[in-house]
A = this chain, B = another copy of it.
Amino acid sequence: MLVMNLLKEQIRDIVDFPKPGIVFKDITPLLKDPDSLQLVVQQLAAPYIKADITAVAGMEARGFIFGSLVANYLGVGFIPLRKPGKLPYNVASVDYTLEYGNASLEAHIDAIEQGDRILLIDDLLATGGTAKASCQLVEQLGGEVIACAFVIELALLSGREQLSAYPIHTLITY
């Protein structure tokens, strides 16, 4: 609880973004505070220090920040999961439905090897659509999703239900 309260001080509410009625959780104050950022990385990684994680995967774009930091902290590589058309080599792809339409995520076909133990990292667990698609993408390539870890969870949106097949770790709940 102490960690959550400390971190909440570095999250800013932005009303009516990206559209009226939504209160957006702005993490940029947290990113700018080195102690808070380091605390987030340690706390995201802590449960997995002895989990034999072989790589961390992070979703474009804010997941790149926390994902690469956690990968570095755990001493493993980082795998970017990207929006369509961004990755230059041959890709695997998963389509999914978002609140406002359809989306897809891509990973290089050689990004993950059979038996890789993947920790998925993103900044926010909302409806869980992007995270579920990411898990499917990892599995499609032969990897095992050991857990999904998020800085922030919006509990009212029930993202955990989409991810019931996986262990979930979140630092801040609203």
Interface residues of A (CB under 8 A from B): 12, 14, 17-18, 24, 26, 28, 31-34, 37-38, 41, 55, 60-62, 64-66, 68-69, 71-72, 75-80, 82, 85-89, 108, 111
Contact = CB atoms under 8 A, between A and B. Distances in A.
Given A28-B89, A111-B28, A78 B65 contact: yes
A65 to B, nearest CB: 4
Contact of A65 (B26, B33, B80): B80
A60 B85 CA distance: 15
Given A28-B80, A68-B68, A88 B34 contact: no
Given A77-B37, A79-B31, A26 B89 contact: yes
A88 B14 CA distance: 6
A26 B64 contact: no
A86 B61 contact: yes
Given A28-B89, A28-B111, A37-B77, 16 more contacts: A14-B88, A14-B89, A17-B88, A18-B85, A26-B89, A28-B80, A28-B87, A31-B68, A31-B77, A31-B80, A32-B55, A32-B111, A34-B75, A37-B68, A37-B72, A61-B86
Chain A at the B interface: SS class: mixed
30 contacts: A12-B89, A14-B88, A17-B88, A18-B85, A26-B88, A26-B89, A28-B80, A28-B87, A28-B89, A28-B108, A31-B68, A31-B78, A32-B77, A32-B78, A32-B79, A34-B77, A37-B71, A37-B77, A37-B78, A38-B72, A64-B64, A64-B65, A64-B68, A65-B65, A65-B68, A65-B80, A66-B68, A68-B68, A69-B69, A69-B72
